Amino acid sequence: MPKPTDSAARRLKAWRNAAALLVACTCLYEPAIAFAQSTQATPVLKRRTDSRVATALQQNQAEVEAEATGVDPAAANPADPTTLTTQGIAPPVNAGDAITDEPDEANAPYEQQLNPYEPTIDGGDVDPTAATNLTPGIRLGTMVLRPTISQTLNTEKQKSSGSSDRRNYMTTGIRGTLNSDWSRHSLTVTGDGAWERNLGSDKSGEEPRASINADLQLDLAKDTTVNITGGYNFSREDTDDPNALNNASVQSGVHEFTGGVAVARDLGRIRGLAAIELQRNVYSAAKALDGSSIDLSARDRTGGDIRVRAGYELSPALIPFLEVSSGLTRYDDKFDDTGYERSSKSYGAKLGTELDLGEKLRGELALGYLRKSYDDQRLGSINAFSVDGDLSWSPQRGTDVSLGLRTTIEDFAGGSQGGWISHRLTAGLTHQLRNNLVARLTGQVTRRNFPSGDTRDVTEYFTSAGLTWSLNRYLDLTSDISYQTTPVYDTGTWRIGAGIAFKR
């Protein structure tokens, strides 16, 4: 092959450069057009996409750029490619920098704390009690179990009509809550039990107790909920109870079974509630001073109540209501041990209001009327003016005050009187002295009003105080002191105890 001349070589090199330039222009032509469409306002409509999407992207980018640079989007130069990009939902970042997206409001929780802690100046923990308030629990499928086991050493001193008696005992307690983790409905199960053991051979005065309650809430519709409840409770009958036996070394054990269904529905401003409740009481045999058993099965009974409530929402914080109820009690034995028919019918009505002022004040208060009539005509009917309520007040963060009012009509186990009226007032104060130290103070006054003039009315007082020191979220140290007295019977009881509680 002949060697090309210098002129031919120069022409060949020029043709090669021209061809390379042509190829480069061809490759860059389409991106240039696309870039021009992204930087000019009018050609945007020529893109084959929904104009609303393009508008939204431009608005998002303008907002992001304004937040990132502090420059008004209207003042930015639209021809400058650094002020606007087609992928502008996040601020521009350098390679290797962390991408910090704005929080998605759609995934934010719909419920917030009513009175959250203010941010600290030094950037510390916002809630100082978050580490000690709640244990992680034990997950059981879609449920979470949080058990607590406690052990306390106690001393008790009883005074009655000038004589006194003392006992030292250990109390082993167990309690727990089982909560569901469902997206719609909810189930809550609570349990509590205590077993007392005297330090010595004498077993008198030991009072075991146990209870378990379950509440299943079904959200059937937006404004309709159904609550199905069930429970069991065991306790030893109190020696100060009017039905307690004087000649017994061990009082009867009371087994109480409960169940109910309640349906609540909101109809605009109208709040409706209908509920059915059932109760079964079974009494075990008591033990006489000589060790023999005293059968108390004649007191076994079954009862049922129906109540209907209608309220009107004046505001979200104030809902007046009217409630009526009717009940029926049937004893297993038609006649008691003294020859009276104790089965009865009861009626009630009350007018009150529900309060909800956030965490500061919430609850309800009602005034009403109760009546109970017995199947035996020799037992007169009992009528009572009732005051019922349950209020919770938080004057400041870390301090909670509770107040409860309750009026009931109780039955005598035998004799020529049908029953008595019980008025009960309870109050409680809880104050957080430190983030891991809580003080408690409770009080209760019970007034028993006997319709017959032959029996004196009885007032019983109870007060207690205690401290709980949380070493960590799994371990608490507790101490309590209480005093109970009934002046009419000249009785008084002091109790002091200290112990430890393990939580999981």
pLDDT value at position 132? 46
Confidence of residue 17 (pLDDT cuts 50, 70, 90): low
- Reported as a single tens digit per residue, the pLDDT across 362-389 is 999 999 999 999 998 999 899 999 999 9
Instruction: Answer whether residue 23 is part of any domain.
Output: no
Task: Judge whether residue 218 has pLDDT over 50.
Answer: yes
CA distance 242 to 449: 12
State pTM to two decimals. Answer: 0.71
CA distance 499 to 504: 17
Range of the domain at 136: 130-503
Instruction: Answer whether residue 74 is part of any domain.
Output: no
Instruction: Answer whether residue 241 is part of any domain.
Output: yes
Report which secondary-structure segment, H or E, holds 39: helix 6-39
CA dist 121 → 124, 126, 432 (Å)? 8, 10, 22
Decide: 482 and 495 in contact? Cβ < 8 Å: yes
pLDDT value at position 40? 40
Average pLDDT over residues 348-354: 96
**Domain of 299: which CATH number?**
2.40.160
Instruction: Answer whether residue 180 is part of any domain.
Output: yes
Average pLDDT over residues 36-56: 38
Instruction: Answer whether residue 421 is part of any domain.
Output: yes
Instruction: Answer whether residue 3 is part of any domain.
Output: no
- Reported as a single tens digit per residue, the pLDDT across 304-345 is 999 999 999 999 899 999 999 999 999 999 988 888 999 999
Q: Of the ranges 145-159, 254-268, 287-301, 421-435, which one carries the lowest mean pLDDT score?
A: 287-301
Instruction: Answer whether residue 97 is part of any domain.
Output: no
> What's the number of domains the chain is made of?
1
| Ramachandran quadrant class, 205 (left: phi over 0; alpha: psi -120 to 50; beta: rest) | left
Instruction: Answer whether residue 41 is part of any domain.
Output: no
CA distance 204 to 201: 9
- Reported as a single tens digit per residue, the pLDDT across 76-92 is 444 444 333 333 333 33
Specify burial of residue 436 (Cβ count, 10 A radius: 0-12, 13-18, 19+).
middle
